[in-house]
Structure 1
Amino acid sequence: MQYAKLGRTGLDISPIAIGCMGFGDPSRGYPSWSLDEEASRRLVRHALEAGINVFDTANLYSNGSSEEILGRALKDFAHRENVVIAAKLSAPMRDGPNSMGLSRKAIMTEVDMSLRRLSTDYIDLYQIHRRDRTTPWEETLAALNDVVKAGKVRYLGASSMKAWEFGKALHLQESNGWARFVSMQDSYNLLDREEEREMHPLCIDEGVQTIIYSPLNRGRLARPWGVTTARAESEAVYKLGAATADSDKLIVDAVGAVAEERGVGRPMIALAWLRRNPVVAAPIVGALKAEHIDDAVASLSISLTDEEAARLEAPYTPRLDHQGVSDPAMLRRAAETATGYSISRLPVRELSKVT
């Protein structure tokens, strides 16, 4: 396994991260399809044996059960200094006031609770799961800086917000001498490339790398078109792609064709495509089976040709982004100016397909 520095930091991370949303006790909350502790521990051990050292979890997952299971597994199977624990906060964890969000009170409470559940005295990468627009940025960022200064957190990361919001946060951190966000966790895959417009150019300019969630678009890139799962259909986000179904099918078919030509699985092609983008540090693989990890590791040996990448990218149609842009005029303007984006990877589409 080849490790690389995360952005401008000195932190060595594997090119694959294990997503731990599927670890936990379903009776304690979301998600309903999570694995029990025994199965989760097997996956953690399998990932460690493959050389993967990044494990991404959140206080929300199974209401803390994911953190508990991960903490116990890493304590049994790994040396703490060799692994990178990436945790997240902002979701509601209990009833009552101050039980969610990114206020100073919430941050100070949640970091201690996560440390306890993870059976560790520090978190390597502490990420804000969602922006709390009810709390001033200054309060949130000052509190995050304080948990770094206290030694409870090594690095800070962000997730799922507008590029202008992330840019403002980075400016405030730099202006005040606060610990800076070193990563952005965002949704990015062959069926959802909207982050190429603004977020990725911003990250490249700021020396921030992205850690990708949903690299297979909730499994849609891992199976033939029309084949689904109960897990996928249970998630509301899965239904948002209806407006771009025609182009999505062409992309899924192209992934299948390239995979067949190379004699490999579809997930390997979709993951190999992500590595072509220098802003991507690692995809988060939400493994529920050992073979999911094996496929991800195998993808590291695949280098797509420019011709293969073009076949995969060509059908893409600009769409609603994951922040909920729904203005047809905005989508029209996006399509008209697609080749002017900094990364210049979104192909121009017929306007009739995005209005």
Structure 2
Amino acid sequence: MEYVRLGATGLKVSRLALGCMSFGEPDRGNHQWTLGEAEARPLFRKALDAGINFLDTANVYSDGTSEEIVGRLIKEHGRRDEVVLATKVFGRMNASPNGTGLSRKAILSEVDNSLRRLGTDYIDLYQTHFWDNDTPIEETLEALNDVVRAGKVRYIGASNMYAWQFATAIQISKRKSWAAFASMQLHLNLIYREEEREMLPLCRAEGIGVMTFSPLARGILTKDSGTQSKRAETDNVTGRFYEKAAAADQTIVDEVAKIARERNLPRAQVALAWVLQTPGVTCPIIGATKSSHLEDAVGALEVKLTDEEVKRLQEPYVPHQVVGLM
């Protein structure tokens, strides 16, 4: 396993992050395909045995049960300080008017709720899950600064926003001498590259670490056209993210398959190798539900695409409608 600094911080994280949205009670929340604690345990141990020290979840995943499962599995592992634990805040956690968002009330309540579910007294990386259009950004940033100063959070990060919004937040934090953003979690893969235009250059310029979600486009880059899975059949996000440009994207999916055959590699390793070679990317987030998913991800660390292969993979790309932002 390789380890790198998260942005301009001194925090060392593995080049692969374990996405813990895959862990959670399937009868809770919006994801029927998730793994309960017993099914998650061997994957969690396999990830740690492979050297992955970076774990990413969110308060809203599976109605809080993702955090609960991750917390119990970390406790079983017995070495809390050896892992870098990241979670997020924004999602609706109750039906009250203040049960969602990034207000001071929501952040101060939800950080304590996440600490309780995770069974820990600190969170390594606390991330805003989305931009909150209903709360002044100064209020959000001051609350984040306060939870850092209180020792409940070590670093703060962000996810799912426009580059101009992130630039605004960064500059306000600098001006106020509040806790600085360490990371940005963004959507990036071979069939969705819109973040290359503004967000990635901004993060490189500001020394911000970058975590990428959906590096395999929710499995689209690893399967033949028409192949289904329980996640694809029940997840309402996949279609919203990718169906509008599916015809154009198929050319890239086919090219991944061709290079995989030429190199005698799993398709996942080709697609992940491209993400890992993208300038400014700290680590892709791997949402494993099978042992083979972790094996492919770890193997991708050894795959180096040639300039010609990168050109073949990138050349067919067409601009996509921006998705996933508020």
TM, length-normalised to structure 1:
0.89
Answer yes or no: is 1:171 the counterpart of 2:171. yes
Q: Name which of structure 1's ranges 228-237 and 49-58 shifts more when overlaid on structure 2.
A: 228-237
1:288 aligns with 289
Answer yes or no: is 1:232 the counterpart of 2:250. no
- How do 1:305-344 and structure 2 match up within 5 A? 305-323=306-324
Give, in angstroms, the shift of residue 277 of structure 1.
1.4
Partners of 2:324 and 2:296 in 1: how far apart?
Answer: 30
- How do 1:267-286 and structure 2 match up within 5 A? 267-286=268-287
Partners of 1:214 and 1:62 in 2: how far apart?
Answer: 18
Partners of 1:323 and 1:91 in 2: how far apart?
Answer: 13
Task: Return the index of the structure with the highest Cα Rg.
Answer: 1
1:50 aligns with 50
Partners of 1:323 and 1:295 in 2: how far apart?
Answer: 26
Root-mean-square deviation (CA, aligned residues, Å) is 1.3
Q: Name which of structure 1's ranges 76-85 and 221-230 shifts more when overlaid on structure 2.
A: 221-230
2:89 aligns with 89
Amino acid corresponding to residue 179 of structure 1 in structure 2: A
2:102 aligns with 102
Give, in angstroms, the shift of residue 78 of structure 1.
4.3
Answer yes or no: is 1:17 the counterpart of 2:33. no
Give, in angstroms, the shift of residue 96 of structure 1.
1.2
Partners of 1:36 and 1:242 in 2: how far apart?
Answer: 29
Give, in angstroms, the shift of residue 225 of structure 1.
2.4
Partners of 1:193 and 1:237 in 2: how far apart?
Answer: 17
Give, in angstroms, the shift of residue 324 of structure 1.
6.9
Partners of 2:234 and 2:39 in 1: how far apart?
Answer: 22
Partners of 2:67 and 2:300 in 1: how far apart?
Answer: 27
Amino acid corresponding to residue 9 of structure 2 in structure 1: T
Partners of 2:254 and 2:26 in 1: how far apart?
Answer: 34
Give, in angstroms, the shift of residue 323 of structure 1.
4.9
Partners of 2:320 and 2:28 in 1: how far apart?
Answer: 35
- Residue-pair matches, total: 325
Percent identity (aligned): 52
Partners of 2:288 and 2:78 in 1: how far apart?
Answer: 19
- How do 1:138-287 and structure 2 match up within 5 A? 138-240=138-240, 241-287=242-288
Unaligned 5+ residue runs, structure 1? 326-355
Q: Does the CA-based 8 Å contact 1:41-1:70 persist in structure 2?
A: no
Q: Does the CA-based 8 Å contact 1:48-1:78 persist in structure 2?
A: no
Partners of 2:257 and 2:251 in 1: how far apart?
Answer: 10
Amino acid corresponding to residue 19 of structure 1 in structure 2: G
Unaligned 5+ residue runs, structure 2? none
Partners of 1:26 and 1:224 in 2: how far apart?
Answer: 26
Partners of 1:101 and 1:239 in 2: how far apart?
Answer: 25
In structure 2, the CA distance between the partners of 1:243 and 1:70, relative to structure 1 (3 Å rule), is closer
Partners of 2:325 and 2:180 in 1: how far apart?
Answer: 27
Q: Does the CA-based 8 Å contact 2:125-2:154 persist in structure 1?
A: yes
Partners of 1:218 and 1:156 in 2: how far apart?
Answer: 26
Q: Does the CA-based 8 Å contact 2:160-2:325 persist in structure 1?
A: no
Partners of 1:9 and 1:45 in 2: how far apart?
Answer: 27
Partners of 1:186 and 1:224 in 2: how far apart?
Answer: 26
SS at match of 1:292: helix
Answer yes or no: is 1:114 the counterpart of 2:114. yes
Partners of 1:115 and 1:243 in 2: how far apart?
Answer: 39
Give, in angstroms, the shift of residue 243 of structure 1.
3.5
1:348 aligns with none
**Superposed CA offset, 1:117-151 (max 9, x none):** 11110000000001111000000000000000000
Amino acid corresponding to residue 43 of structure 2 in structure 1: L
SS at match of 2:186: strand
2:129 aligns with 129
**Superposed CA offset, 1:276-295 (max 9, x none):** 11211111110001111111
Query: 1 or 2 for the larger relative contact order (CA 8 Å, sep ≥6)?
Result: 2
Q: Does the CA-based 8 Å contact 1:7-1:182 persist in structure 2?
A: yes
Amino acid corresponding to residue 82 of structure 2 in structure 1: N
TM, length-normalised to structure 2:
0.97
Partners of 1:243 and 1:213 in 2: how far apart?
Answer: 19
Partners of 2:71 and 2:103 in 1: how far apart?
Answer: 26
Give, in angstroms, the shift of residue 2 of structure 1.
1.6
Partners of 2:246 and 2:21 in 1: how far apart?
Answer: 27
